[in-house]
Amino acid sequence: MKPAIALEGISKSFPGVHALSEVSLSLYPGSVTALIGENGAGKSTLVKILTGIYQPDGGTIRVDGAEVHFPAASAAAKAGVTAIHQETVLFDELSVAENIFLGHAPRTRFGLIDWTKLNADARQLLSRVGADIDPTIRLRDLGIASKHLVAIARALSIDARVVIMDEPTAALSYKEIHELYELIDRLKADGKAILFISHKFDEIFRIADRYTVFRDGRMVGEGLIAGTRQDDLVRMMVGRDVGQVFPKQQVAIGEPVLTVSGYRHPTEFEDINFELRRGEILGFYGLVGAGRSEFMQSLIGITRPSAGAVRLDGKVMVIRSPAEAIEAGIVYVPEERGRQGAIIGMPIFQNVTLPSLTRTSRSGFLRMAEEFRLAREYTSRLDLRAAALDQDVGTLSGGNQQKVVIAKWLATKPKVIILDEPTKGIDIGSKAAVHAFMSELAAQGLSVIMVSSEIPEIMGMSDRVIVMREGRMVGQYERADLSAEKLVRAAAGISETTP
């Protein structure tokens, strides 16, 4: 079979980084190719080259055997290459139909946009992807899953021959994921060549026909999924054998530190009641959008709950801002590292000391020596790799940025630390370091809440797990009777389990 599109010897470098070195990738009509690799392996650079956002420094792109160039995104679209992105990159303020046809709208005889035909065509495309959506409503009124369907309808509208799906299931619910699988099967039957990027091995084995593995900007393996084992792919991905070992220490769990009762919010969550004990790691599992982060952020005063009480060491606390939470001894390491956690334009030591400035300063004046001392202490405990402490955080790798972020909140000497998806998007080495450190913290008597959507991490690290779905607690399990199946069922609302 001839590939619909083939990349040969593609290289791309940015100042100081070789993002891709001579990679090759072929996508075949009617076939799903999974692109596998750790974060930073070069997957997103490749997608940008395929869609004409970046131009390669070297190598060739062939469509049906003929060499092509994509100097801009429009050229790639014309060649029939389209991408559906991690965060749906569409236009909230425009109508569904316009989102589908923006850039290639049907025209009237006078060259003006033909809205009647546009809406009719949109309706037809939406029904082809099985979406029951009114094409004239604004996109912002749709849920995430429907937006994905709109993105797919857009892909069909330009008569794409190559469809790139960049972690399309990341934000979808269990049911929506299965609908997506069916749709991919239909696209395959239509003869589209599909590139499927995912971190989830179960779905790769469910829908992919072929795989290509990237590591450090190089192609390190490719082949048919049939006959390949998960372990083989992992080994190619990380370049060594990795047993997922969680360094959870057994800790004597002490008295309750944090008690939350009757916590509710008008639209985000309700009926949250639990106790967190000294030395305990309490896992919060759930699907993306279950309301876990929203609840945690209300604990530290980002949003206000409408009712409920928090007791810390038996004392009722009213927390109206993160500043007050830090003072009280509750800290939150946010999920979105780049947006909420790290201040990438500032040096490491200033990031670390930002929440602790009242301690390192004297009557409002900074004391640099104290700041360096504090930063040194906490970054070395997390085994940070950096050239110097006055290096900007933005120059570090994702894993090291996360270490700085954790060090920042630990340096406030909290009683309770809430870690929201602490290992999301960081490399395996840093992941292990974070896990080891988390365990050590609990052993030292800190109380830890860990929000995670990764079953192995939740099962490996938690003493107890609370499952949330649609803003409510739907299950609570001790470490002894944890099972992956129970967690998944509770989170997806399949079982009859209720608290």
Partner 1 sequence: MAEAPMTTRHIPDRLQGRSARVLKSWESLLVVVAILIFTVNSFASPYFLDPWNLSDATFNFTEKALIAFAMAMVVISGEIDLSVASIVALTSTAMGYAATQGFDTPALVAVGLATGLACGAINGLLVTRLGLPSIVVTIGTMSLFRGIAFIVLGDQAFTSYPASFAYFGQGYVWWVFSFEFCLFLGFALFYAALLHLTNFGRAVYAIGNNQTAALFSGVRVARVKFTLFLLTGLMSGIAAICLTSRLGSTRPSIALGWELEVVTMVVLGGVSILGGSGTIGGVVLAALIMGMVTFGFGLLNVPGIVMSIFIGLLLISVIALPILYTRLKRRMAH
Partner 2 sequence: MNMLLKNREALLVVAILALLTLITLRFPGFIQPANLGRVYNDTSILIILALGQMAVILTRCIDLSMAANLALCGMVAGLINVALPGLPIPLVIAAVVALGAVLGSINGLLVWKLNIPPIVVTLGTLTIFRGSIFLLTGGQWINAHQMSDVFKGLPRADFLGIPALSWFSIAIMAIVFVVMTRTTVGRAFYAVGGNPHAAIYTGIDVGRTRFLAYCLSGALAGLAGYLWVSRYAVAYVDIALGFELDIIAACVIGGISIAGGIGSVPGAVLGALFLGVIKNALPVINISPFAQMAISGTVIIIAVAVNARAERRKGRVILKKAEAH
Judged by the rule CB under 8 A, the positions of this chain that interact with partner 2 are 51-53, 72-74, 77, 83, 85, 89-95, 98, 102-103, 105, 111-113, 115, 136-138, 265, 267-270, 289-291, 294, 303, 470-472, 496
Is residue 24 at the binding interface for partner 1, with CB under 8 A as the rule? no
40 vs 308, beta carbon nearer partner 1: 40
Name which of partner 2, partner 1, none residue 113 binds, using a CB cut-off of 5 to 8 Å depending on partner kind.
partner 2
105 vs 386, beta carbon nearer partner 2: 105
Q: How far is the CB of 475 from partner 1 (least distance, A)?
A: 29
Q: How far is the CB of 185 from partner 1 (least distance, A)?
A: 38
Q: How far is the CB of 265 from partner 2 (least distance, A)?
A: 8
188 vs 215, beta carbon nearer partner 1: 215
Is residue 325 at the binding interface for partner 1, with CB under 8 A as the rule? yes
Is residue 365 at the binding interface for partner 1, with CB under 8 A as the rule? yes
Q: How far is the CB of 153 from partner 1 (least distance, A)?
A: 33
Is residue 13 at the binding interface for partner 1, with CB under 8 A as the rule? no
Name which of partner 2, partner 1, none residue 77 binds, using a CB cut-off of 5 to 8 Å depending on partner kind.
partner 2
Is residue 379 at the binding interface for partner 1, with CB under 8 A as the rule? yes
Q: How far is the CB of 134 from partner 2 (least distance, A)?
A: 12
Is residue 349 at the binding interface for partner 1, with CB under 8 A as the rule? yes
124 vs 358, beta carbon nearer partner 1: 358
CA-based nearest residue to 165, from 225, 88, 85 = 85
Cα-based angle 433, 437, 443 (whole degrees, multiple of 5)? 150
Residue whose structure tokens are 């649609």: 470
164 vs 438, beta carbon nearer partner 2: 164
Q: How far is the CB of 346 from partner 2 (least distance, A)?
A: 21
Name which of partner 1, partner 2, none residue 148 binds, using a CB cut-off of 5 to 8 Å depending on partner kind.
none
Q: How far is the CB of 392 from partner 2 (least distance, A)?
A: 21
Reported for 8-12, long-range contacts at CB under 8 A and 24+ positions apart, including other chains, are: 8/59, 8/60, 8/61, 8/62, 9/58, 9/59, 9/60, 10/46, 10/49, 10/56, 10/58, 10/59, 10/60, 10/61, 11/56, 11/57, 11/58, 11/59, 12/45, 12/49, 12/54, 12/56, 12/57
Q: How far is the CB of 300 from partner 1 (least distance, A)?
A: 8
Residue whose structure tokens are 């780049």: 338
Name which of partner 2, partner 1, none residue 380 binds, using a CB cut-off of 5 to 8 Å depending on partner kind.
partner 1
Subset of residues 392 to 431 that bind partner 1, contact rule: CB under 8 A: 396-397, 399-400, 408, 412, 427, 429-430
The number of residues that bind partner 1 (CB under 8 A) is 52
Q: Which stretch binds partner 1 (CB under 8 A): 130-138, 148-156, 348-356, 450-458?
A: 348-356
68 vs 386, beta carbon nearer partner 1: 386
Q: How far is the CB of 31 from partner 1 (least distance, A)?
A: 33
Is residue 55 at the binding interface for partner 1, with CB under 8 A as the rule? no
86 and 167 Cβ atoms separated by less than 8 Å: yes
Which one among 271, 383, 440, 470 touches partner 1, defined by CB under 8 A? 383
Name which of partner 1, partner 2, none residue 260 binds, using a CB cut-off of 5 to 8 Å depending on partner kind.
none
Is residue 341 at the binding interface for partner 1, with CB under 8 A as the rule? yes
Residues of this chain that interact with partner 1 (CB under 8 A) are 40, 216, 300, 302, 321-323, 325-327, 332, 334, 339-346, 349-350, 354-355, 357-358, 361, 364-366, 372, 376, 379-380, 383-391, 396-397, 399-400, 408, 412, 427, 429-430
